[in-house]
Chain A
Amino acid sequence: MENKEKTFVEDIERTLYDIRNEERAAYKSRQGLTEQVVRDISSRKDDPEWMLERRLEALAVYDTLALPSWGPDLSSLNMEEIVAYVKPDAKMAGRWEDVPEDIRATFDRLGIPEAEETSLAGVGAQYDSEVVYHSIQESLVRQGVIYTDMETALREHEQLVREHFMKLVPPKDHKFAALHGAVWSGGSFVYVPEGVQVEIPLQSYFRLNAPGAGQFEHTLIILEKNSSLHFIEGCSAPKYNVTNLHAGCVELFVGEGARLRYSTIENWSRNMMNLNTKRALVEKDGLIEWVSGSFGSRVSMLYPCSILHGENARCEFTGVTFASKGQNLDTGASVIHAAHYTSANISTRTISKAGGQAVYRSAVKVTPHAHHIKCSVNCESLMLDDISRSDTLPVMDIQGDEAAVGHEATIGRISEEAVFYLMCRGISEDEARAMIVRGFVEPIAKELPLEYAVEMNNLINIELEGTMG
């Protein structure tokens, strides 16, 4: 019998992301999490008194909460070894020329300044715990759009921040939300006034360079009535042999009739614990669109949640997760239908290979008395070998009789019939299989901005040798 080699589906090419800069911090907090560390961060950031109080309250909550009793094993995470705050030796700049050379070179390699020139209306770049660059097109400023780092927002728009900060994700939500509330630093703030359409996307990029550090950026976006925005978030880090932790928090307020698209390409290094929390509150006739690509991290727990709070609010979630060797990527989405005529559509694809574990986890909840609800969930999983795992765990919790909820999931490998069909039309077996894998993620790729779609196709690079079966 012919000895067939398995096609090697290339791991995500990481060279670009793995270039480390020499660690040159202006300040690092002590390892571990204590009241002194929290007070120290707050003092260095010149927080208003109410923010310090909230940090300390969050710390108290953190101490009372246990690690989640479900999901990936987090026992290797030792908070005593994590440095919560690393201030880079750079001030926030409005021109790339003013960003220190080594940091600027990092963002150059990641293509951020180039993208800013060609396809973005504003850029924020965070390096370790602080934002080092922020810009926004003048035309948007004239329309009243605010796009700045969280610290500036806290100074210049304090009331707005105070009203919204950690209102959707309270520290009591879970242990890492409490951790975030205590030590958050950096992140982006966006405010789009009523009726303003931001036609060109804004992008924030988060880079964690320091080994053994945590990144706890906070993203707060407020869209007023009938406004619209596309916000892109990217994240990466070089690989170290110590655990890094990312426990960011994203809070999105989508006003009446507003539309927000929130796209993320997560490509953290394989020593990262990515325990991120994202939540959107959508008012009447509003729309939240999540586009989420999870490729990096050793462990991920990420389930963007949409609270459909106003009548006719809608949610579209499109996600792809690619788990390879040593990765346990537990991703998914949740939707809460809290008003009449709300609808949601969740569509995900997961791929697992080389011993990677991909978990799709979701929750759909329909609250009592919400009527004329529609929700559709679709999850497809592709396994590329027999040493990997793929699990799906959706939950539907429906109260009342006026909800139509459907869920569908499939799991399997590449269809031999499909390969045969393509080969009958003159395509080689290897190329046929490669086409099928690309086709599998195509529904997601088409939702991504072009440069990210190209990146994702590169990430899923099939070497044309042997067969996959």
Chain B
Amino acid sequence: MAEKIYSEIPMRTWRWLGVNEARGEETVDLPSQDVRVAAGEVRELTVAYRQEGQSSLRARVEAGGMLKLTTVQLVPGSGFFGGDIEIYLAEGARLEASAVEAGAGQSISRMRVYLQGDGAQASVYVLYFGDGDRRLDMNYIMVQEGKNTEAKLYVHGALLGQADKIFRGTLDFRRGAKGSRGYEKEQAVVLSGKVRNRSVPLMLSAEEAVEGHHAVSIGKIDDSKLFYLMSRGLDLTEARRLVVEAAFNPVLDRIEAEELRQELQTYIKERLADA
């Protein structure tokens, strides 16, 4: 199949870094979803992707509405998965999203959240887990257009084996978004010397009266944490597993579907043990 560009960075940079666009082979389209959350309504939506292909989800949350969205990508094997989520938030609308990227040989995911209405709020928690020779490409974009909006993008990841990951996270303050705040934080734990880890935290601003902050921290597991756990009788593998699980808890704890959460915990535990 022919290669195509699934998503692009909002602002291009040096080509040699290989982060300007996400390329993958064309694939089959999975059924798309279109969701509308009425004014004042609270809607919970959980989607587990377990099949190769390209999926799209579009949601519009009307004034004062709230969407609790959980997406979990657990496509088995070495196949391809492309995910595209687009969410529009009206005045006072809220989004609480948890996104897990843990399966497929190659995954390309994009989430765009448009905080259009005044006072819209979005909290997006992302968990990525790459092992083997998995390739993960993520592009999360928070566009803040309304006044007094608040966007939070918190990302926790672990990489092992020969995983190759790109995470792009953008806070885009548009002109007129006065009083808006945006926060982005990515914490990546690297568990193998053969990993390639690319992080691109963008912050774009055409408005002065905003507060934006982004931070990235990349490193191996803190030796003092391992030492503490091992001095209490755990072997190295168990200690590493515990530290990684603890790092993932802020995301996993937000998944309300008990079965899905347990499935993920087991999946990650097994993968860590295999590594």
Contact = CB atoms under 8 A, between A and B. Distances in A.
B35 interface: no
A395 B200 contact: yes
B1 interface: no
Contacts of B212: 409-412
B224 interface: no
Interface string A113-138: 00000000000000000000000000
Interface string A368-391: 110000000000010111101111
Given A401-B220, A406-B216, A411-B210, A392 B202 contact: yes
A263 B43 CA distance: 57
Interface residues of A, number: 39
Interface string B199-241: 1111111111111111111111000000000000000000000
A398 B196 CA distance: 6
A393 B13 contact: yes
Nearest to B220: A401
A69 B12 contact: yes
A350 to B, nearest CB: 11
Interface stretch (B14-22, B25-33, B66-74): B14-22
Contact of B219 (A361, A404, A413): A404
A411 B201 contact: no
A396 B207 contact: no
Contacts, number: 139
A408 B219 contact: no
A396 B214 CA distance: 14
B204 A70 contact: no
Nearest to A400: B193
Given A397-B17, A398-B198, A400-B195, A405 B213 contact: no
Contact of B12 (A70, A368, A405): A70
A396 B199 contact: yes
Nearest to A332: B13
A178 to B, nearest CB: 16
A403 interface: yes
Contacts of B211: 410-412
A397 B195 CA distance: 11
A390 B205 contact: yes
A410 B183 CA distance: 9
Interface in A197-252: none
A397 B188 CA distance: 12
Contacts of A413: 208-210
Listed from nearest, the 3 A-B pairs whose CB atoms lie closest are A70-B12, A383-B208, A411-B212
Interface of A: 69-71, 361, 363, 365, 368-369, 381, 383-386, 388-413
8 contacts: A70-B11, A383-B205, A386-B208, A394-B201, A395-B200, A400-B195, A409-B214, A411-B212
Given A70-B15, A399-B197, 4 more contacts: A388-B208, A398-B199, A407-B215, A408-B215
